[in-house]
Amino acid sequence: MLRAGITATFVAIYAAVMLTSAEPSSAQMAATANAFLTSLTPAQRTQATFAFDGDERTHWHFIPSEMFPRRGLTIKDMNETQRRAAHELLKSGLSQRGYLTATGIMELENVLDAIESAARQARGTNSGTALRRDPERYYFSIFGAPSTTGTWGWRAEGHHVSLQFTVVKGTMVAATPTFFGANPAEVRDGPRKGLRVLGAEEDTARALVESLDATQKTRAILAPEAPSDIQTMNKNDITALTPSGIMADSLTAKQRELLMALIDVYAGFMAPDLAAARLAKLKKAGVEKIGFVWMGPTLRGQKHYYRVQGPTFLIEYDNTQNNGNHIHSVWRDFEGDFGRDLLREHLKSDH
């Protein structure tokens, strides 16, 4: 019986892995989610699954779990087969760069633990920190029953990673909010010195702000100091932030290319069809209506913040904590977070 269960698990995982990238992400997600569930024990499955229409699906944050208790099944509580299945699920929603970014952020927990341990030793205390830094303390949750025709969702979340995906009628997929953070933003000591997991998010935005002339900067740079964090935090319902800064139609052709390159940094975390859908949606709403805001100094190493906002979406980025070496970044959709707009259309078509 045990051998049959293990064989079924490997068959399910193999089938999920063999799906080609040409298939829609929703189909890959259904296969990998079911492979993941098949690999779990009954007790683990109970821990990892939730009703689709419950409050848990929109219960999200990006801070440590001691500060924001989470539910789901952690990587730490999985065996190796289950971990591989969880990672295949993660890959189904992300591009290769997105997957490497997510797992790189998880690995930063080891770096952060070493930094905090060294700081405690320097203070002459060996007392344990209240926050456990653990690259395996990330929670996987499935909402509803994964299928290629139904409505369901899943989430992978922990410190500095929050990814949620909603599938409606098997084909329409929402993938927001999408949060990535990094502490440290740049590893400054040790064997991984120089590592910048979210370097492209900073460098591409700085290239854009530095390309602006003096007049353009007066419209784009709103304050000499950056806010202490992203302004939307973990709110479920958000509205457009004001002011809008400098609009795309006030940029040169080269500057608009830099703006679109910055947007693509964030869109490109997603699987190819999801990234294409994000870009198509914002282009349909009007690239000229996208605004760029910067706050704080433009010199690298200083505390800074920026946002990119269009009629349908918002990107926020903040690097102010830990003396400007701690990044929070997020992509939000004003109507699409957690698939709300798609679900409304689903209900309308069914009635």
User: Mind listing the pLDDT tens digit for each residue in 17-34?
Assistant: 444 345 789 999 999 999
Alpha-carbon dihedral 99, 75, 120, 230, rounded to 10 degrees: 50
Q: Could you tell me the sign of the dihedral formed by the alpha carbons of 122, 123, 124, 128, in that order?
A: negative
Long-range CB contact pairs, 336-339, < 8 A, 24+: 336/174, 336/176, 336/312, 337/174, 337/176, 337/177, 337/236, 337/238, 338/57, 338/58, 338/153, 338/164, 338/166, 338/174, 338/176, 338/177, 338/236, 339/153, 339/166, 339/167, 339/168, 339/172, 339/173, 339/174
Residue 44 burial class via C-beta count within 10 angstroms: exposed 0-12, middle 13-18, buried 19 and up: middle
Spatial distance between the Cα atoms of 167 and 171, rounded to a whole number of angstroms: 6
Q: Are 212 and 220 in contact (CB under 8 A)?
A: yes
For residues 262-269, give the mean pLDDT.
98
* pLDDT number for residue 21: 44
* pLDDT number for residue 31: 97
Going by C-beta distance under 8 Å and a sequence separation of 6 or more, which residues neighbour residue 201? 180, 265, 266, 317, 327, 329
Instruction: Work out the pLDDT band at 344, boundaries 50, 70, 90.
Output: confident
pLDDT above 70 (res 271): yes
For residues 149-167, give the mean pLDDT.
97
Q: Which residues of 283-299 are buried (b: 16+ CB within 10 A; e: fewer)?
A: eeeebeebbbbbbbeee
* pLDDT number for residue 182: 98
- Residues of the chain above pLDDT 70, percent: 90
Going by C-beta distance under 8 Å and a sequence separation of 6 or more, which residues neighbour residue 2? none
Instruction: Work out the pLDDT band at 346, boundaries 50, 70, 90.
Output: low
**pLDDT tens column, 123-148:** 887 655 568 999 999 999 999 999 99
Instruction: Work out the pLDDT band at 100, boundaries 50, 70, 90.
Output: very high
Task: Give me the half-sphere count of Cα atoms (radius 13 Å) on the Cβ side of residue 276.
Answer: 5
For residues 207-222, give the mean pLDDT.
98
pLDDT above 70 (res 288): yes
pLDDT above 70 (res 1): no
Domain range summary for the chain, segments of one domain joined by +: 2-176, 199-335
* pLDDT number for residue 19: 40
pLDDT above 50 (res 7): no
**pLDDT tens column, 238-250:** 999 999 999 999 9
* pLDDT number for residue 4: 42
| Residue with the larger pLDDT of the pair 9 and 252 | 252
Mean pLDDT of the chain, nearest integer: 91
**Helix or strand holding residue 331 (H, E):** strand 327-333
Helices (H), the chain: 2-17, 25-39, 42-48, 80-93, 96-122, 199-211, 214-220, 253-267, 272-285, 321-324, 340-350
For residues 40-56, give the mean pLDDT.
97
For residues 35-54, give the mean pLDDT.
97
* pLDDT number for residue 49: 98
Going by C-beta distance under 8 Å and a sequence separation of 6 or more, which residues neighbour residue 13? 35, 38, 39, 81, 84, 85, 88
* pLDDT number for residue 121: 87
Phi and psi at residue 158, to the nearest 5°: 180, -160
- Put simply, whether the predicted model's pTM sits higher than 0.85 gets the answer yes
Instruction: Work out the pLDDT band at 172, boundaries 50, 70, 90.
Output: confident
How distant is the alpha carbon of residue 202 from its chain centre?
16
Q: Are strands 152-158 and 161-168 parallel, antiparallel or unpaired?
A: antiparallel
E-state strands within 133-176: 139-143, 152-158, 161-168, 172-174
Going by C-beta distance under 8 Å and a sequence separation of 6 or more, which residues neighbour residue 39? 9, 12, 13, 81, 82, 85
Residue 26 burial class via C-beta count within 10 angstroms: exposed 0-12, middle 13-18, buried 19 and up: buried
Q: Are 201 and 211 in contact (CB under 8 A)?
A: no
pLDDT above 90 (res 325): yes
Spatial distance between the Cα atoms of 144 and 125, rounded to a whole number of angstroms: 47
